[in-house]
Structure 1
Amino acid sequence: MVDKREEFKGKHVLILGLAKSGFAAAKLLHSYGAILTVNDRTPFEENEQAKELADKGIHVICGGHPLSLLDGRIDYVVKNPGIPYSNPIVKGALEKNIPVITEVEIAGIISKADIIGITGSNGKTTTTTLIGEMLKNSAKRPLVAGNIGTVLCEVADRATEEDVIVAELSSFQLMGTRTFHPKVALLLNLFEAHLDYHGSMEDYGAAKARIFAAQTPEDYTVYNESDERIRELVKHSKAKKIPFSTKSICEDGAYIKDGIVYFQNEAIIPLEKIVLPGKHNLENILAAISAARLSGAKQEQIVHVLATFSGVKHRTQYVGTVEGRKFYNDSKATNILATKAALSAFNEPIVLLAGGLDRGNEFDDLKPYLNQVKAIITFGQTAPKIERVAREAGIEVIKRVDNVEEAVPVAYGTSSPGDVVLLSPACASWDQYKTFEQRGDIFIDAVHKLK
């Protein structure tokens, strides 16, 4: 069998942007014999990753993105997913017909293991985690990777035919793929997100659809039958189509009937035995069951996971109860759809903590979901926008604070025993925090201080 790693031997590759993915790709391609130039905007003196690569003999250019990088032979540009396509070097490479890829494409080329790819606007991490757990004790060892934490190409490099990779994939990552085709591709949902990057909903949907663009009739596309946009996109998939829905009977896929979850007409588990909270998670569960069964998961393992798995950190995560108030960390809710789902998960009165990076959108779509919200604590760039919607929704208690840490004691003082205090920002964290994880950890620490 031809070693696909030979694809990069002797090739001239420009790594554009480091961070986790670029750093991993650079080390990997260097080990394969690629001729590398690494470019990162952080000055060399402050760039530990660049220093480590330079010590390996790799050509490193830091402090900016000079167009002269495109002079001479370049076979591939491997870009950090966060770098937009408006970047002059990216535009210049595309004009010269140089392939611009992300490390996900590299992973697809080199992997000896089948890949399950999961994408969607919301629910990716929960679904990825569920599938990884469901595949334990099956014929193949699950390796969880991608946007969930571990760089995909690193995992693909060590994976064997005895493994199966379960990969969370973002639209940013998928845009940089050409031949990548997972054995099982999941498209969970589509909501207006990252339009500052993609420019339009059509382009955003097209980026998500890259997950099945290169699939063959031997592969599977698992998709949300209830999402009209997704139904249109998957018409172009050449793979076997496996639908799931919480609203209709999908005999070819996963569905709910008479309070029981089914996959291809086989009963899996009664809803009452599933411990993961929230109606929105039922779609994630149906998608996960589909992918797991198609990949060889055992029935008893699937049932065990659904009867014991209570959630992922920062995703409607139960933090604790203080004087009768239940605190939940949903810092991963970086868009309106995610916050809608979180608000729908509870029947109790809610004190909502929300706000963050202003991407130019309004929050009127939240109004129908605020009927249980008795008070709202805002922070970040979008605080005024969220407060306007709260006033129009009839919420009487609206308070603004500087940050999440200040919001927790204010929320406690505003709440009563029996209430839910919910951090579900409906915004990205980057105006105040490096990541949504940092924002969520600060919330958790502040709750523990209350205790």
Structure 2
Amino acid sequence: MKRLVILGGGESGVGTALLGKAKGYDVFVSDKGEIKQNYKDVLIHNEIKWEDKQHSESLILNADIIMKSPGIPDKVELIQKIKTAGINVVSEIEFASHYTDATLVAITGSNGKTTIASLTHHILKQELDVGLAGNIGDSFAKQILEKNHQNYVLEVSSFQLDDIQDFKPHIAILTNISPDHLDRYDYKFENYIASKFRIIENQTEDDYFIYDADDEVISEWLENNPIKSQKLPFSLTKEFENGAYIKEENIIINIDNNHIIMPIKKLALDGKHNVKNAMAASTAAHLLKIRKQTIRESLENFQGVEHRLENVLRINKVQYINDSKATNVNATYFALESMQAPTVWIVGGVDKGNDYREVFQFVNEKVKAIICLGTDNTKLMQTFGNMVDVIIETQFMSEAVKIAYKIASAGDNVLLSPACASFDLFENYEDRGRQFKEAVRKL
């Protein structure tokens, strides 16, 4: 009996444990932190051995295969020992993909992954049997075990792609690449870029690669690296024989002379980045033979993703917007770009070596006040102190929202778009977004 050891007892770990057990592995789950009670209950109920608050090397280094949580860096001593022992280390998407013949649509990129994945799933589910997994919802492994859909839309991170071997999506989407998580890539941007492009490394000429042709990093990489898959670019400025582009305020998607035309003004979501998200999702749907009318209707009624430019409430003619999912500067760039009114901007958290220069033009144009919400706001105060008349710091979400309420006048926006990770004051970006919404509702 082959031994499968799983490092990390979260959603992907427990899902893999269930699938592994069903496929006849001797399964052991080990987590250095505490496993949440709901996951413990699942493991106990399924008679799967586990430990938490420690990693017992004697129980790990005898594995035939190890699935590690994407959150564990390769630099960790235990991982080094595992690699030295020659044990095969894979990610959940790699392990799970061996047990399904489903058509896979996989989406990666620094920003926009969740929106494109949710939008693609929203369109496909109108006509196909399709699951949504990866970094969203129930784990891929668990869904293969319980639902076994014929199609899956997967949101995948660079960390998950770092540990693939044979993983091969039929349709791969790359949204954009901006510096993020560089601490995991020896602070070398090229390592992070290479990691993202692993999404297409196993593709053949029968597969498709949908990507943002306006992204210089992607375009440059493609110039220097030949790929096998069929390219379907999308762009706001260029036109293509095969791909998606803009003409006279319409999105045009053209694949082998088969067109879809969609008026931009009918899209449910605002902002240039959402035009791109619509292009990417529709191209995938078009490839999977979804009817044009279904694609159009789905783009018109899609509600968006929680914590991503989510309109919370309008109070005294001030719109409060939750963009807690903006954990890097590039995501905040899209948020500020789409603001149509003077904005009170709530920013801050754990800075991942951020370079804020790309948002300067929008801060000068649109931001009337900045509220820094983090344990250490020095860099923000120094960077933006001279750009706005009002800059205030706090360490409490409730206080940040009260300050914003006092500063904002009728017609303004109050935008939470932190550009940073959330781990200094919050459990995660969802917790941060929920606290923001709660504070707004209490005003």
TM-score of the two chains, using structure 2 as the length reference: 0.93
**1:136/1:297 contact within 8 Å kept:** no
Instruction: Give the aligned partner of residue 276 of structure 2.
Output: 283
**1:221/1:237 contact within 8 Å kept:** no
Equivalenced residues, count: 436
- Matched letter for residue 431 of structure 2: Q
Does residue 175 of structure 1 match 2:162? yes
Does residue 258 of structure 1 match 2:242? no
Alpha-carbon distance in structure 1 between the residues aligned to 2:153 and 2:227: 20
| Cα distance, 1:40–1:192 mapped onto 2, change above 3 Å | same
Measured after TM superposition, the shift of residue 367 of structure 1 is 1.6
**1:67/1:88 contact within 8 Å kept:** no
Alpha-carbon distance in structure 2 between the residues aligned to 1:194 and 1:179: 24
Alpha-carbon distance in structure 2 between the residues aligned to 1:43 and 1:187: 34
Measured after TM superposition, the shift of residue 63 of structure 1 is 2.7
Residues 257-307 of structure 1 show CA distances to partners (whole Å, capped at 9, x for unaligned) of 111111116242111222311111111111111111111221111111222
Alpha-carbon distance in structure 1 between the residues aligned to 2:147 and 2:45: 27
Measured after TM superposition, the shift of residue 71 of structure 1 is 4.0
Instruction: Give the aligned partner of residue 189 of structure 2.
Output: 201
Measured after TM superposition, the shift of residue 47 of structure 1 is 6.0
Instruction: Give the aligned partner of residue 6 of structure 1.
Output: none
Instruction: Give the aligned partner of residue 390 of structure 1.
Output: 384
| Cα distance, 1:133–1:50 mapped onto 2, change above 3 Å | closer
What 5-or-longer segments of structure 2 have no aligned partner?
A: none
Question: How large is the RMSD of aligned CA atoms in angstroms?
Answer: 1.9
Alpha-carbon distance in structure 1 between the residues aligned to 2:322 and 2:361: 22
1:319-334 mapped onto 2 (5 Å cutoff): 319-334=312-327
**1:184/1:222 contact within 8 Å kept:** yes
Higher mean alpha-carbon deviation, 400-409 vs 371-380, is at 400-409
Instruction: Give the aligned partner of residue 154 of structure 1.
Output: 142
| Cα distance, 1:52–1:314 mapped onto 2, change above 3 Å | closer
Measured after TM superposition, the shift of residue 37 of structure 1 is 2.5
Instruction: Give the aligned partner of residue 63 of structure 1.
Output: 53
Alpha-carbon distance in structure 1 between the residues aligned to 2:61 and 2:418: 44
Alpha-carbon distance in structure 2 between the residues aligned to 1:165 and 1:71: 33
- Matched letter for residue 13 of structure 1: L
Q: State which of 26, 32, 38 in structure 1 corresponds to 2:17.
A: 26
Instruction: Give the aligned partner of residue 365 of structure 1.
Output: 358
Does residue 247 of structure 1 match 2:240? no
| Cα distance, 1:93–1:236 mapped onto 2, change above 3 Å | farther
**1:111/1:157 contact within 8 Å kept:** no
Measured after TM superposition, the shift of residue 385 of structure 1 is 1.3
Measured after TM superposition, the shift of residue 136 of structure 1 is 2.8
Alpha-carbon distance in structure 2 between the residues aligned to 1:201 and 1:382: 25
Residues 73-125 of structure 1 show CA distances to partners (whole Å, capped at 9, x for unaligned) of x2211001101111122112222332211111122111121110011100111
What 5-or-longer segments of structure 1 have no aligned partner?
A: 1-9
1:327-366 mapped onto 2 (5 Å cutoff): 327-366=320-359
**2:16/2:96 contact within 8 Å kept:** no
- Matched letter for residue 374 of structure 1: K
Alpha-carbon distance in structure 2 between the residues aligned to 1:126 and 1:385: 30
Alpha-carbon distance in structure 1 between the residues aligned to 2:44 and 2:300: 50
Measured after TM superposition, the shift of residue 424 of structure 1 is 0.4
Alpha-carbon distance in structure 2 between the residues aligned to 1:64 and 1:38: 11
Alpha-carbon distance in structure 1 between the residues aligned to 2:33 and 2:349: 25
